Amino acid sequence: MTDTAITDAHNEDAHSANADHEGHEAEVIPDDEHPMEAHTEVHTRAASPALVGEGYVAGIDLGGTKVLAAIFAPDGTIVSRSKVLTGSVGGLDVIDRMAAAVREAAGVAGLSLSQITAVGTGVPGPVNPDTGIVHVTPNIPGWDLMPLRDELSSRLGIPVAVDNDVRVAVIAEHGAGAGQGARNMVAIWPGTGVGGAIIINGQIYTGADSYAGEIGHITVKVGGAPCGCGGRGHLEAYCSRTAIVKRLHMLVRTGHKTRLTRIVGKNILKAKSSDIAEAASLGDPLVLAVLERTARYLAVGIASVANLLNPELVVLGGGVVEALGAPYIDLITAFVRNQPFAATTGPLRIVQSALGDDAGVIGAAILARQIHNRHTGEEAA
């Protein structure tokens, strides 16, 4: 099975975090057009209270190229997983495949759909969690104004909750990862773009039209580099993986040398986060200089957000951060500490995300637990 065209941020280095999961592959459907894998697993990791609840729930991580689904037991542990490739399909076919992934994972766990109380899913694009309508998804054709929540719910006969994929990853980090217990937290996710999310008083903050947390589009340099959104000088234009490789590409074209050309070949634009991390670990001066510049811009962005919201914690995640790890976090932290205002010094902690590739299904399962708890609360009231 190939995973060559993964483009969304948190799925970028797929499989790397699965090494600690014991389990076995229960079934493989050898169909090139619709390949699917599933397996049961035994988790030894203690589950977070945010994942614990009545009955089983399913979490779906929808990427540009594949659907991952996992079933969570009442004690919050993962009991089975499945993966379905979305290939080149779009529109309602993708929702059929999401439903298939849930059915497959439930079947592998020996459960019927009626035993699944709720389903949560992340979406790679802006979505309104209150209506369940996807505004647009750059990686999935035919999803403009797609009523995903209702379409998926009608296929499975189960209540569904949806939210943006970065927000879902941040819900996971807050509920079960690096941000557990944080009252006020900001998350920044550099990958293909730069996503973000805000937790205020223990709750995700969505804003008037559910766009809150788009930290990638705050301005860090007036009239600066062009951003994918059409603006200029936005954080994303300096700190996404796309921005990092574009800058390296430009520097190489103007005569600078880097080991990256030995790792990825002449076309630097093809460099993945892991390639950049490899060059950085070898001490490549050009890559280190570009990353230092990127860290400075990230620090400016973090300081702006910290001065506005005074969070106790900033969690950094996504493909670039996961590949570069602690040295990159330390560099960014040092630049933040140099920013001259109280909110950025003092008690502000800056840490790396803890859940890796599992963040998508875990956050989606927490969303699912929240709908079930809400319904139970309404019945009780």
User: What does the binding site for Zn ion look like in residue numbers (CB under 5 A)?
Assistant: 217, 227, 229, 231, 234
Give φ, ψ of 161 to 5 degrees: -120, 140
Q: Give the Cβ contact number of residue 302 at 10 Å.
A: 25
Q: Least distance to Zn ion from the beta carbon of 324, Å?
A: 22
Return the number of the residue (90 or 224) whose C-beta is nearest Zn ion.
224
Return the number of the residue (229 or 250) whose C-beta is nearest Zn ion.
229
The whole-angstrom separation of Cα 301 and Cα 339 is: 11
Return the number of the residue (23 or 126) whose C-beta is nearest Zn ion.
126
Helix (H) or strand (E) holding 195: strand 194-200
Q: Give the Cβ contact number of residue 176 at 10 Å.
A: 25
| Interior/surface letters 184-217, b for 16+ CB within 10 angstroms, e for the rest | ebbbbbbbbbbbbbbbeeeebebeeebebbbbbb
Q: Least distance to Zn ion from the beta carbon of 333, Å?
A: 25
Return the number of the residue (225 or 289) whose C-beta is nearest Zn ion.
225
CA angle 159, 145, 119 (to 5 degrees): 20
With H, G, I as helix, E, B as strand and everything else as coil, classify residue 174.
helix
Return the number of the residue (237 or 279) whose C-beta is nearest Zn ion.
237
Token code pair at residue 138: 């750059």
Return the number of the residue (177 or 301) whose C-beta is nearest Zn ion.
301
Which residue's C-beta sits nearest to Zn ion? Answer: 227
Instruction: Indicate the length of the chain as a whole number.
Output: 381
Q: Least distance to Zn ion from the beta carbon of 191, Å?
A: 14
How would you class 49 by CB atoms within 10 Å of its CB: exposed for 0-12, middle for 13-18, buried for 19 or more?
Answer: exposed
Q: Least distance to Zn ion from the beta carbon of 301, Å?
A: 12
Sign of CA dihedral 61, 236, 268, 316: negative
Q: Least distance to Zn ion from the beta carbon of 227, Å?
A: 3
Q: Least distance to Zn ion from the beta carbon of 224, Å?
A: 11
Q: Least distance to Zn ion from the beta carbon of 240, Å?
A: 10
Return the number of the residue (158 or 235) whose C-beta is nearest Zn ion.
235
The whole-angstrom separation of Cα 87 and Cα 85 is: 5
